Amino acid sequence: MTDHAILATLRQCASRHSRVDHEADDLMQDVLLLAVARGRAITDPGFMAWAKGAIRNHARFIARTAGRRRVRDAAWGTPCAAPNPVPRFSHAFLSSLPPAQRIVALLINLGLDRAEIT
């Protein structure tokens, strides 16, 4: 099999595991870079089987990551109710504090909790 035939076969395999053409190109490129990093030659007899499996596994990984990202982004967009009202310090009280404590009090006024401030 020539190099062009191997690449065409890999491109066809990547197209089966991807919905969009440019994603298929990215899949193929990622797997070829992985092959170079692992020292696999395109002319090896077991390369095609390995590459097809790597394309399939990488496509699944990308799909899982995209699904998790969509769920995370959707959850980020939904407002959550604050369990306690945010304490508000008066300007007079803030001006009486030392600079380091004033910064912490201003962060509390912004609604940050203990973990976010630290």
pLDDT in tens, 63-87: 999 889 888 888 776 665 556 655 6
Predicted TM-score of the model (pTM): 0.59
Total residue count of the chain as it appears in this document: 118
Q: Is 102 helix (H, G, I), strand (E, B) or coil?
A: helix
With a cut of 50, list the residues of the chain below it in pLDDT.
none
The one-letter amino acid code at 108 reads I
Average pLDDT, the chain: 86
Cα distance between residue 106 and residue 38, in whole Å: 52
Res 79: pLDDT: 60
Q: Looking at residue 56, what is its pLDDT?
A: 95
